[in-house]
Amino acid sequence: MNKMMLKAGVFALSVISASVMAKVTPEEAARLGNDLTPVGAEMAGNADGSIPAWTGGYSVKADGEIPSRPADPYADDEILFTITSANLDEHKDMLSAGQVAMFEKYPDYKMNIYPTHRSAAYPQEVYDVIKENATNAEMVAGGNGLENFKMHVPFPIPENGLEIIWNHITRYRGGAVQRLVNQFPVLEDGNFVPVLLRESLVFPEYMESGREAADDNILFYFLQEVLAPARQTGTVLLVHETINQVKEGRRAWLYNAGQRRVRRAPNVSYDGPGTASDGLRTSDGLDMFNGAPNKYNWELVGKREMYIPYNNYKLMDTSLSYDDIINAGHMDQDLVRYEKHRVWEVKATLKDGERHIYQTRHMFIDEDTWTASVIDHYDNRGELWRVAEAYSTQFYYHDTPWMAAEALYDLNSGRYVLLGLANEESEYMNFDIEPERSDFSTSALRRMGIR
């Protein structure tokens, strides 16, 4: 079955507030696929040619069995230059404050800058949906919900910061995918104990039966099972992610192996502790940022050029061990690839009367994928605290831009959490699942926990 042969289309959420954001006109939407890419990025390159024009991205139609780890199509690229503490001042204008702080904290830190490849490519059906969204999708409930929206990227021609964040939250990640990956809470001295996770992410349209009435207000289903270490084995998290989390909060349940029971998990949101992250990640820090945007004011600062992680195929290399990649303070930066890309710059500031451990989040969102590529996190004193990076990769056999890993570095403690590596695992990414709705029920959660 072609997962993109969708059985259901537009869903609408009830309007809680009279506040509705404007959609673009058909004339504006006609720019998609012309001077703008089908997802809303600038088609043209930059003035000096260091960012090329987008020409369709990198896509491969394979014959026979598709490997779960794509080979590096840019392995022969040479490093253009390396940023170190010695030449940092020459490049600060292309970095975030958090990236600069990593050089200041770690004298051995560096960034290898490679030629830019605009590799992002999606299925044509996704492009069609995004173009339809451009003239139909609207924000409602003060920006906390969507109306007349299909699946992915409601605002390819955004007018404000909140629309850009919705694009990140709803972006295409394969539709229905299961992955086996590790999370590493890394101590200051570089020691770590891997937490092996099996995760499934499914948008309702990609269910075997397609979107149904039961999926009202559902953006996606998420299932996460802890497989190791032994003391955490059997813990299972189930999330029914709602679109409008003010109308209806995120539905989350946790199966605890020790208690042998399923319980609602209201703390799996906002700054509740992230699963098995040793306190280093908040629940809304998974996937760089997720969940309800209602606690923050979202300011669109503008668009700029910046060095961000991109095409990080090296981080999927099975010849590397986790010890090869993970060092004290940060990953082995010789394994990380950075490129110059255009990003949307959005500043999230905590609203008056709201509480969160992060007062400010300064976000840099890749224009070609709507992925939050770098986020600087500030504490409630306004001090820079943590910096996150998404190590983007194009899974070109499936026309899916996603991440090889994501990291969140704590500048105060010297610890960090790294999620997504599977170099030592026999399994990795599976984009060809055809799940049933019952796979994401509390009964399924209980069965997984006791088997």
Residue 235 has which token pair? 């813990």
Spatial CA neighbour of 343 closest among 121, 136, 51, 122 = 51
**Residue 373 in domain:** yes
**Residue 237 in domain:** no
- Cα gap 380→36, rounded to integer Å: 38
Mean pLDDT calculated for residue range 14-23 = 44
**Residue 316 in domain:** yes
Task: Please name the amino acid found at residue 242.
Answer: T
Q: What is the pLDDT of residues 190-217, one digit of tens each?
A: 999 999 999 999 999 999 889 998 898 9
- Cα gap 54→121, rounded to integer Å: 10
Residue 226 has which token pair? 């802890």
pLDDT value, residue 451: 53
- Cα gap 415→4, rounded to integer Å: 41
Greater confidence (142 vs 316) lies with: 316
Q: Domain containing 120: what range?
A: 81-174+278-424
pLDDT value, residue 3: 45
Task: Please name the amino acid found at residue 408.
Answer: L
pLDDT tier for residue 450 given thresholds of 50, 70 and 90: low
Mean pLDDT calculated for residue range 223-250 = 90
* Residues facing 179 on adjacent strands: 199, 429
97 by DSSP, 3-state: which?
helix
Sign for the CA dihedral angle at 62, 68, 71, 72 comes to positive
**Residue 75 in domain:** no
* Residues facing 296 on adjacent strands: 350
Q: Which long-range contacts (CB under 8 A, 24 or more apart) does 232-240 make?
A: 232/195, 232/276, 233/257, 234/449, 234/450, 235/275, 235/276, 235/449, 236/445, 236/448, 236/449, 237/265, 237/268, 237/275, 238/440, 238/442, 238/444, 238/445, 239/268, 240/440
State pTM to two decimals.
0.94
Half-sphere exposure of 395 (CA within 13 A, CB side): 24
**Residue 99 in domain:** yes
**Residue 271 in domain:** no
**Residue 229 in domain:** no
pLDDT tier for residue 49 given thresholds of 50, 70 and 90: very high
**Residue 257 in domain:** no
Q: What is the pLDDT of residues 256-308, one digit of tens each?
A: 877 778 999 988 999 999 989 999 999 999 999 999 999 999 999 999 999 99
Specify the number of domains making up the chain.
Answer: 1
Decide: 42 and 367 in contact? Cβ < 8 Å.
Answer: yes
Question: Mean pLDDT in the chain?
Answer: 92
- Cα gap 343→345, rounded to integer Å: 6
DSSP per-residue letters across 251-307: EEEEEETTTTEEEE-TTSSTTSBPTTSTTSSBGGGTTSS-S--TTEEEEEEEEEEEE
> Which 8-state DSSP code applies to residue 406?
E
Q: Where are the alpha helices (DSSP H) in 31-170?
A: 97-105, 124-136, 161-170
